Structure 1
């Protein structure tokens, strides 16, 4: 096999892998999925995950504090909390999640936000 043929095969495999990976990552949230908010190892709220163009904001309480989630196009993210509540802000820096395998975690406040689909057979780790 010539060097050009080897490079062509490697290029085709690489492009195919990239396309397959982006299609998998771009997969939208499942129909009938829900947002699950777990605070201190207890499910506090379940919210239907809607796939709409319009931004939705949801409020949840933990202790004396309030947190906010934004939902748009079947994706969600946690809005930034004050530094005295969440000093590192990692939960808001997580960004958008859209699949059941993803989670937003706020360790100082013991908050876990996940997407759960109807066909999600995985065990919850609480």
Structure 2
């Protein structure tokens, strides 16, 4: 096999892998998917997970405080809370989640945000 043929095969495999990875990561939310907000071990809110280009902001209450989630393109993230409510800010630093195997956790406030109702076949363990 010539060097040019080897490079061509490697290039095709590399491009195919990149495209497959991009399609897997950009998997859109399904119609029955929802964002679930658990506060102090109790489901407090369920929000339909929308797949829209436009950013949506949702407000949720916990105790006397208010938190905010942003939703866009079937992904969700928690916005930063004041330092006196969430000193470390790890929940907002988690960034976007888009799969049911991912979670946003705020330990000081006992908040867990997950996505339920997705068919994450790629996340299954065989």
Work out whether the TM-score is over 0.5: yes
Cα 1:52–1:9 change in 2 (3 A) is closer
Cα 1:72–1:34 change in 2 (3 A) is same
Give the Å deviation of 1:120: 6.9
User: What is the TM-score when the length of structure 1 is the normalising length?
Assistant: 0.81
Structure 2 distance, partners of 1:82, 1:66, is: 10
Cα 1:82–1:114 change in 2 (3 A) is same
Give the Å deviation of 1:19: 0.5
Structure 1 distance, partners of 2:125, 2:88, is: 23
Q: What CA deviation, in whole Å up to 9, does each residue of 1:13-39 have, x standing for no partner?
A: 111111000011111111121110012
Structure 1 distance, partners of 2:11, 2:34, is: 40
Gaps of 5+ in 1: none
Give the Å deviation of 1:121: 9.6
Give the Å deviation of 1:46: 1.1
Counterpart contact for 1:28–1:99, Cα < 8 Å: no
Cα 1:20–1:64 change in 2 (3 A) is same
Cα 1:125–1:76 change in 2 (3 A) is farther
Q: RMSD in angstroms over aligned alpha carbons?
A: 3.7
Q: Secondary structure at the match of 2:53?
A: coil
Give the Å deviation of 1:88: 2.0
Give the Å deviation of 1:124: 14
User: What is the TM-score when the length of structure 2 is the normalising length?
Assistant: 0.81
Q: How many residues align?
A: 126
Gaps of 5+ in 2: none
Structure 2 distance, partners of 1:122, 1:111, is: 27
